[in-house]
A and B are shown apart, each in its own frame.
Chain A
Amino acid sequence: MVTLAAPLRSPTARLERVDELQARIQGMQSTRLETRAVPTHPAFAGLLPGGSLREGTVVEAQGSTTLVMALLAAPSASGRWVAVVGMPEFGVEAAARFGIDLDRLVLVPEPGRQWLAVVAALADVIPVVAVRPAQRVAPAEASRLGARLRERGTTLIAAGAWPGADASLGVELSEWHGLELGHGLLDEREVVVSAAGRGGFAKRRRSRLRMPDRALGFAVADDAADDRGGAGTGHPTAAPRLTPVLHADFARPA
Chain B
Amino acid sequence: MTAVSPARAIVLWCPDWPVFAAAREAGLDPAAPLALTEGGAVHSCSAAARRDGVVRGLRLREAQYRSPAITVLPYDPVLDVRAFEPVVRQVEQTVPAVQIVRPGTLAMRARGPARYYGGEDAAAQALLETVERLGVAGARVGIADGPFAAEQAARAVRSSPVGIVAPGGSAAFLAPLPVGLVVDERTRTLLNRLGVRTLGEFAALPPGDVRRRFGAAGAFGHDRAAGREATGVAARTPPPEFEITAEFEPPLDRIDQLAFAFRVRAEEFIDRMRAARLVCTAIRVELDDERGGHSARSWLHPRWFTPADVVDRVRWQLQGAGTADTGLVSPITKLRVIPERVDGTANHEAGLWGQGPDERVHHALTRVQSMLGHEGVVTAAVGGGRMLADRQVLVPWGDRPPEHREAPWPGSLPALAPASVFRERHPVALLDSAGDPVAIDERGAISSRPERFAVAGGAPAQVRAWAGPWPVVERWWDAERARRVHRFQLVDHDGCAWLLVRDDEGWWAEARYD
Contacts and interface: CB of A to CB of B under 8 A. Distances in A.
Contacts of B513: 66, 176, 186, 189
A91 interface: yes
A108 interface: yes
Contact of A125 (B361, B414, B426): B361
Contacts of B360: 124-125
A93 B455 contact: no
A179 B421 contact: no
Interface stretch (A29-37, A113-121, A199-207): A113-121
B418 A94 contact: yes
Contact of B368 (A69, A88, A108, A175): A108
Contact of B394 (A81, A89, A107, A183): A107
Interface stretch (A14-22, A48-56, A244-252): A244-252
A121 B361 CA distance: 10
B511 A91 contact: yes
Contacts of B455: 248, 250
Interface of A: 63-66, 69, 81, 88-97, 102-103, 105-112, 114, 117-118, 121-122, 124-126, 173-176, 179-187, 189, 212, 216, 245-248, 250
Interface stretch (B63-71, B232-240, B380-388): B380-388
Contacts of B466: 179, 181-182
Instruction: Sort A-B residue pairs by CB-CB distance and give the 8 closest, nearest first.
Output: A174-B495, A65-B419, A94-B417, A179-B465, A92-B380, A93-B417, A125-B364, A89-B420
The CB with the most chain A CB atoms within 10 A, among B361, B365, B420, B421, is that of B420
A106 B392 contact: no
Contacts of A182: 449, 466-467
A176 B423 CA distance: 24
Interface in B363-407: 363-365, 367-368, 371-372, 376-382, 388, 391-392, 394, 397
Chain A contact surface mostly: mixed
Given A93-B391, A121-B367, A247-B496, A184 B418 contact: no
22 contacts: A65-B420, A65-B514, A92-B380, A92-B391, A93-B391, A94-B418, A106-B361, A106-B397, A107-B380, A109-B378, A109-B394, A110-B376, A118-B371, A121-B364, A121-B368, A174-B494, A175-B495, A176-B491, A179-B467, A186-B491, A247-B496, A248-B458
Contact of A185 (B391, B464, B467, B509): B467
Given A110-B376, A174-B494, A118 B368 contact: yes
In this complex, the member of A110, A181, A186, A245 whose beta carbon has the largest number of chain B beta carbons within 10 angstroms is A186
Given A121-B364, A186-B416, A247-B496, A108 B467 contact: no
Nearest to A253: B457
B421 A89 contact: yes
Given A102-B381, A106-B379, A107-B379, A91 B418 contact: yes
Interface of B: 357, 360-361, 363-365, 367-368, 371-372, 376-382, 388, 391-392, 394, 397, 414-424, 426, 449, 455, 458, 464-467, 489-491, 494-497, 509, 511-514
Nearest to A115: B372
A180 B465 contact: yes
Nearest to B509: A250
A117 B514 CA distance: 28
Contacts of A125: 357, 360-361, 363-364
Nearest to A111: B372
A174 B496 CA distance: 7
B388 to A, nearest CB: 7
Contacts of B388: 91, 93
A92 B392 contact: yes
A5 B376 CA distance: 56
A91 B371 CA distance: 24
Nearest to B394: A107
Given A108-B372, A111-B376, A212-B416, A91 B421 contact: yes
A187 B371 CA distance: 41
A106 B422 CA distance: 18
B419 A64 contact: yes
A106 B365 contact: yes
Contacts of A184: 465, 467
Contacts of A66: 419, 513-514
Given A91-B421, A184-B465, A112 B379 contact: no
Nearest to A102: B380
Contacts of A97: 415-417
A181 B468 CA distance: 10
Given A91-B421, A108-B372, A176-B491, A216 B415 contact: yes
Given A93-B417, A179-B466, 12 more contacts: A93-B391, A106-B397, A108-B368, A118-B368, A174-B495, A185-B414, A185-B467, A186-B513, A189-B513, A212-B416, A216-B415, A216-B416
B364 A122 contact: yes
A112 B372 contact: yes
A90 B420 contact: yes
Given A110-B376, A122-B368, A179 B417 contact: no
